[in-house]
Chains A and B, each alone.
Chain A
Amino acid sequence: GAGVSQTPSNKVTEKGKYVELRCDPISGHTALYWYRQSLGQGPEFLIYFQGTGAADDSGLPNDRFFAVRPEGSVSTLKIQRTERGDSAVYLCASSPMSGMHYNEQFFGPGTRLTVL
């Protein structure tokens, strides 16, 4: 079956602009995670959804970052008034909450965001 997909693959924007990053999880996966990976670093947790609700948004760096998952499937990460420091690869992962792959996170290819 299809894996986790993320669009766009790359996004270049100017400082101060608004961007939306999309994640399509594996069908049937109720848990969805967003991570941010800066150059030369490991991914860092941003937010976790269980179904439609954000169960843990403790990793969001500030109120310019927001994410939604209105129907419990596709999720959108939104960044307002982008800053150069927001430049990174944004990774999405989904996870089944039962079965043999319980707790295993399946990652998408990421969106590379560059803020000029």
Chain B
Amino acid sequence: AQTVTQSQPEMSVQEAETVTLSCTYDTSESNYYLFWYKQPPSRQMILVIRQEAYKQQNATENRFSVNFQKAAKSFSLKISDSQLGDTAMYFCAFMRASGGATNKLIFGTGTLLAVQP
């Protein structure tokens, strides 16, 4: 069974600074996807960034980038130039990519990020 671990329950960062959120996962699959989702107080899960395991290049989306270490099963999220609107719960998630798989997401327990003015 796959598991996702987020070891930082809460983090704080000053506005305009950079912060890194950690995520590790466990799987025997060779082909899969990894995601970071943001959940503000409105409860709406918003996709921040995705990474295909077969791609060696780390994904980037504007101020958001990942450090994907496949051998170490590590998938951290870096947020640059933090903004007040980045304050939210962040979830790391895993999805199998095998043919015929359900494609359900397996989530970690989340990291609550507070951006301080």
Contact = CB atoms under 8 A, between A and B. Distances in A.
Given A42-B93, A59-B104, A103-B97, 14 more contacts: A31-B103, A33-B105, A35-B105, A40-B109, A42-B91, A43-B107, A56-B102, A91-B45, A95-B103, A103-B103, A106-B47, A107-B37, A107-B44, A109-B43
Interface of A: 31, 33, 35, 40-45, 48, 55-56, 58-59, 89, 91, 93, 95, 103-110, 112
Interface string B13-51: 000000000000000000001000100001111110010
B77 interface: no
A39 to B, nearest CB: 11
B43 A110 contact: yes
Interface string B83-98: 0000000010101010
Given A40-B109, A42-B110, A103-B95, A48 B42 contact: no
Nearest to A110: B43
Nearest to B110: A42
Contacts of B95: 103
16 contacts: A31-B103, A33-B105, A40-B109, A41-B109, A41-B110, A42-B108, A42-B109, A45-B105, A48-B104, A56-B104, A91-B45, A93-B105, A104-B47, A106-B47, A107-B44, A109-B42
